[in-house]
Amino acid sequence: MNYIDGLRQDTSVLPNGMVFNARIKFMENIVKALNNNQLPKYHFPQLQLSEKEITTYMEHNINLDEIEFQTMSARLEKFDHDLGEFRSYLQTRFGYWATITEDFVEAIKNNFPNQTFLELMAGNGYLSKGLRDFDIKTYCTDDLSWSKYNQTGKIKITDVESLEAISALEKYGSQVDNVILAWGPDREDIDYRVLQKIRQLDVNFLVIGEKYGATNSREFWDSAKLQEDSRIQRINQSYSNYDLVKDQLYLVK
């Protein structure tokens, strides 16, 4: 049974479980897009159940007897837990780490018009794929050293040049307007070394990550100077914060 079928199984044993169908359908469309080597069209809504949704649902089933109500509560808790596994599923199945969607990439295009990009540590290339689909000149690079651990680099959806990050900066850093890095690893200092290298170049450094959280090293966040910029604020309106991870786009100096 795949992940989406598992969610449907969860709701099939809930009274009036079809009230959750729209949420599952949205998630199914995300999976279909990624299966077809495409980006999801729209940024994700909150996927786990809110307290209000849980309360409303339980109030609508208050007429169940005690045993039925307890069973329903346990099944609802399992469904909510399984909804919370969506990020892990996307990472494991597709190597899809940052939540790159068409509307997010379009917002980058609109706020950094007629500019060129170099993506570092691109993995399967979701971000570069999106930029290239909007006819934005993009160099997509990664030495794919992480591919032995998970699906990252195994199901590339655009051409990815085999270059580690510093080498990519040396080759392309003087040819682009922007360097972009999405979900740098949190247990290596390569992002810190990248930051020092970029400070020698005349480029914007755009980073998608969670400050002192799921992405990037402590050395990086300690050194990063995060810039206030109205363009970044507008772009982040189209970036998904759909679970406990609070990543976003930053302009870093």
| Residues belonging to the chain | 253
Give, as one character, the DSSP assignment of residue 161. B
Query: Where along the chain do the CATH 3.40.50.150 domains lie?
Result: 102-252
Task: Give the percent of the chain with pLDDT over 70.
Answer: 96
76-84: long-range pairs with CB below 8 Å, 24+: 76/14, 76/49, 78/10, 79/7, 79/10, 79/11, 79/14, 79/20, 79/49, 80/48, 80/49, 80/54, 82/6, 82/7, 82/10, 83/7, 83/23, 83/47, 83/48, 83/49, 84/47, 84/48, 84/243, 84/244
**CATH homologous superfamily of 102-252:** Vaccinia Virus protein VP39 (3.40.50.150)
**pLDDT tens track for 198-251:** 999 999 999 999 999 999 999 999 999 999 999 999 999 999 999 999 999 999
Q: Pull the structure tokens for residue 176.
A: 């682009």
Q: Pull the structure tokens for residue 155.
A: 């199901």
**pLDDT tens track for 117-167:** 999 999 999 999 999 999 999 999 999 765 555 556 568 999 999 999 999
Give the global pTM: 0.93
For residue 182, the surrounding DSSP H or E stretch is strand 178-182
| Contact (Cβ atoms closer than 8 angstroms) between residue 204 and residue 146 | no
